[in-house]
Structure formats: structure tokens, C-alpha cells
Amino acid sequence: MTAIEFCDRAPIENVISTLTTAPDKIIFVGEGKAAKRFFNAHKAYIEDKKLGITIDFKSIKKNDLSSIVETLSDIVEKEDSCVFDLTGGEDLALVAMGIVYEKYSHKDIQLQRFIIENGVVTDCDNDQRVIYSGAPLLSVDDHILIHGGAVRYKKDEMVKTVRWELTDDFVKTVKFLWEIARKDPQKWNNQSAVLAYLNNYASDNEPLSISVDLAEVEAKFEGFTTKYVDVKPLLKLLFENDVISEYSHKGSVISFSYKDGLTAKCIKTAGAMLELKVLVTAAELKDENGKPYYNDALSGVFIDWDGAFHGARDEKADTENEIDVVLMKGLVPVFISCKNGKFEEEELYKLDAVASRFGGKYVKKVLIATDLGSLSDKTKEALSQRAVDMDISILRGVHKIDDDSKFAEMLRSLTGKGTRAQMIEF
């Protein structure tokens, strides 16, 4: 069976046949560099997944109806069995398809359309037959790949994106730390900043172990006292709850050890707790059948714009952006920016640019925030209105949610056909 895809500006619509019909061959039909770029991105996806599908590209002039009809007729005459995916494509190409379908009514031709938001296949030729191999699910990596980029996990041996291993112990730790952080987000940010600074005094042989004389640090580094927040009560609490493995303080000297590198990253990275709270809650969320509501979830996602990784010695540098959390609901991506405190309007533009480029036509754009800080009410309202105008939902004051089930329902509400940008304050 041969599937025919009409190249569209929404890359996900160009790969529906690959995901839903399991064809032997796919022919992409389109015009110009953009269509060819989409073709190359899907070729990379097919090769990455080792699907063994033969692919081809037919160039058309999108404003020349007779030329399109001729190209489609040639395909139908040469292929034994064809399924045309009408999910995407230019209007004139779809008109041409109608002409060809009527002309070759004696041939085995299927016309169908896939509804991205709910996974339903529409039988466009009304012959009571659809070619469908099951509801497709895409990972975050696959979705970015289809859109011409790649998730960056390593660069010059430096790990960037991390797929957290959500063990029971790690999930418990995240939930415990979030309960501390949400009670006073600004204080948590300050404590994390101090602990990150004290990490400079980690042992060379034991990088997770720190012993430091705070009086010595204060005398050596001018301005430290203006940034310092007493972290001893926090460290004591973490030790008592097995989040850190060792803790002691004698006079101005404190010593402590993180139990592992991931826990250390959670604690000394100020914005990590909100990201991880969203990640863990989304990963645990179930649908009405007890299956995962989101089929993939990834935090701290570094996206390479062209999918070609360049080393430090390469003349060409990588263009990268980070998205705090990306969730996948079937084929629908949710791009989330997490802010544990105030943020500038620029953050909205950054989220919009990356989500539009790599999220595509069906992306849900969300900014999840705690307190917006010292901004005036007028500034907050203007910021919120700008976000809604950019089709970005803002969920602010999430640290006030004191029930895990309510936090989960907030994340569940982000998807669904017809879901629109909203501004909610808790």
C-alpha cells in the first residue's frame, strides 16, 4: 500500500500516514524549499525509527491545478493501492485530489483524514473503510525531530537535558521539597542560591560533600552577607527526613552531604522544584481507563534548532533554547515555562517563539508561575492580557494549591479539543 501526503506547514500533519497507516511506501507531494525541508525531517524520523518505509517526493506547482492533477494521476496509475491523507495540504491540492478520485473511481483509492486532537479517523470517501493501525503516540524527542530539531542530551561531555528516573524514592523527595518551597517561594530561591554558592567548597574527592566555615567565606568574599540566607534550619530538616545523608554544624562551620547528584540538583537549582513538581504530577496522571494521561513528559528540554550537533571546535555554533517542561498527549504537545517568582515580558516571547517553531499548529503554550513578585497589580494584569493575546495560558499562584489532586486537575485541563488560552489565579 502507498500513502500520499500533501505537504503542509504543520509538520505533524505531514507524518500522519507514517504514524497511523503503516504503509509500504509514502509519497510526499509539495512545492518549494519548505516542503522539501519537511520531507527531510520525516525521512530522518523514519530512518531513526528503522520503519523500513520507502519514501519519495513529487514536486508540484501549488497554484497550477492541471499540473497537480497530472502529478496525482501519474501516482494513481503507477501504484496498485493508494491511501490519500487529507489531514493537511493546500486547498488547490485537495481540489485536485477530488478530480483524480472521480477520474479513477475504478482504482483502489482511499481518502481519509485524521483528527489530531482526538485521534479519530474520518472516512472521507464514505466507503465504510479506513486504513488505520491504531492511535499514534509520539515522544517528546520524536515530536521535536519531526519539526526539524533535536533534543540535546550531551554537548562536549556536559549533560543538558536529563530524563529523570522517577523512582518512588525520587518522587517522594520531589513532593517533600515542593511542600517546603511552595510555602515561601522567594525564601526557597534564596536558600537554593546560597547552597549553589557553597557548592564551590565541595570536596574534590567527594563532590557531593561540603564543609565550609561561613565566617571565612564572609571575610573572603565582599557582599556575601547581603546574599546570605541562613540555610542551617533547612539542612537540618532535610537531614531529619533523609533527603541529605549527613549534616552537622559547629560554630560557624557547617558540613553536609547530598545523598546523590539528582537530589543535589533539585535543591541547589532554584527553579527546579516547580519544574519537577509539574513533571512528577504529569507523569502520575491517569486517564479514565487507568492509563497514563500524558504519554511522555520531559523537563529541562534543550532543543537544538537544526538537529545537527556542533562541537566546541566547529565554526558553526548551535542555536538552542530550553523549555522547562514538555508534555505529550498523543500527538498534541504542551510547552510549559515554569517561573518560581517574577519574570519579564520577554519570557512570553521566548516561549511563544520556541513553542511555535517546535510545537506546531496544535501546541498548547502554558506559563505556570508562583508569585509574580513585586510587580504592581496593573503590570500583572497587562502581562496576563499579553499572554492570552499570544495564546499562552498563565496559571499563577500555583504554590497556593495545597492538594495534589487539584494540582493534577490543573495539568489535565491543559489539553483537549478547543482548549483556549486562559488566565487563572489560585
- Per-residue pLDDT at 301 exceeds 90: yes
Nearest residue to 114 (alpha-carbon basis) of 382, 362, 383, 367: 362
Beta bridge partners of 258: 244
Confidence label for 387 from pLDDT (cuts 50, 70 and 90): confident
Beta bridge partners of 154: 159
| 360: exposed, middle or buried (Cβ count in 10 Å: 0-12, 13-18, 19+) | buried
Cβ neighbours of residue 402 closer than 8 Å, sequence gap 6 or more: none
Distance CA 306, CA 317 (A): 11
In tens, the pLDDT along 92-103 reads 999 999 999 999
First to last CA, the chain: 52
Cell of 391: 495564546
- Per-residue pLDDT at 60 exceeds 70: yes
Pairing assessment for the beta strands 154-155 and 209-213 based on DSSP bridges:
unpaired
In tens, the pLDDT along 253-282 reads 999 999 988 899 889 888 899 999 999 999
pTM of the model: 0.90
Beta bridge partners of 179: none
Q: What is the DSSP string of 111-178?
A: EEEEETTTTEEEETT-SS-----------HHHHHHHTT-EE--EETTEE-SB-----HHHHHHHHHHH
Distance CA 368, CA 396 (A): 6
Distance CA 37, CA 21 (A): 22
What average pLDDT does this structure show over 310-330? 73
The one-letter code for the residue type at 2 is T
Beta bridge partners of 121: 114
Helices (H), 184-315: 185-198, 214-220, 224-227, 232-240, 261-268, 272-284
What is the layout of strands, in order, in the sheet containing 253-258?
209-213, 253-258, 244-250
- Per-residue pLDDT at 376 exceeds 50: yes
* Residue whose cell numbers read 554537548: 155
* Cβ atoms 297, 166 nearer than 8 A: no
The C-alpha angle 96, 97, 100, rounded to 5 degrees, equals 90
- Per-residue pLDDT at 204 exceeds 80: yes
- Per-residue pLDDT at 74 exceeds 90: yes
Which DSSP category does 400 fall into?
A: G
Cell of 10: 504543520
Distance CA 372, CA 376 (A): 9
Q: What pLDDT, on the 0 to 100 scale, is given for residue 307?
A: 59
Distance CA 352, CA 153 (A): 23
In tens, the pLDDT along 122-150 reads 999 999 998 887 778 899 999 999 888 88
